[in-house]
Amino acid sequence: MSKTWLLVADAAKARLFEIAKKGGNLTEIACYTNPDGRSPGQHPEHGREGRTQESANSARHAIEPHTSLREKHAMQFADLLRDTIRQGRLANQYDQLVLMAPPRFLGLLRGRLDDQTLKCVVAEVGSDLLALSPTELRAYLPT
């Protein structure tokens, strides 16, 4: 008998469900939050990006970070979720995996999964569905 895990996530929160059998009920087995997932992406100490002064004149410019603070927090959260679903796979807690997340976070998460975990992914839904009930989520699952 195969078990399916359903991960519904965004950069700030994730809910993990188990589906024991095809057409079975969704049972929430874990909930994760990333308190920094909704941060504005600015420097935490002063809320502004670093500044530099040009040597040729007195003009000052903000230094754009290559990766914003918000993106770093999203990557850290994606790493936590990756580790969780990898451990579940290694412990044979599921055979199939369904991922539901807004497109940007879905791509971030997918890019962090190892090849063996990616082979378990049977469906992906690129939408923000975190607010839906388990019954409503069922409509988005593959048949």
Q: What is the pTM of this model?
A: 0.79
Residue 128 resides in a domain = yes
Instruction: Supply the range of the domain harboring residue 77.
Output: 4-39+68-138
Residue 54 resides in a domain = no
pLDDT at 19 over 70: yes
Residue 127 resides in a domain = yes
Higher pLDDT, 38 or 108: 108
C-beta of residue 8 within 8 angstroms of C-beta of residue 15 = yes
- What is the overall mean pLDDT for the chain? 84
Residue 132 resides in a domain = yes
Residue 143 resides in a domain = no
- Between 12-16, 34-38, 54-58, 101-105, the lowest mean confidence (pLDDT) is in 54-58
Confidence of residue 48 (pLDDT cuts 50, 70, 90): very low
Residue 56 resides in a domain = no
CA dist 106 and 119 (Å) reads 16
- Count how many domains the chain has: 1
Residue 90 resides in a domain = yes
> Residue 76 belongs to a domain with what CATH number?
3.30.420.60
pLDDT of residue 76: 94
Residue 96 resides in a domain = yes
CA dist 127 and 19 (Å) reads 20
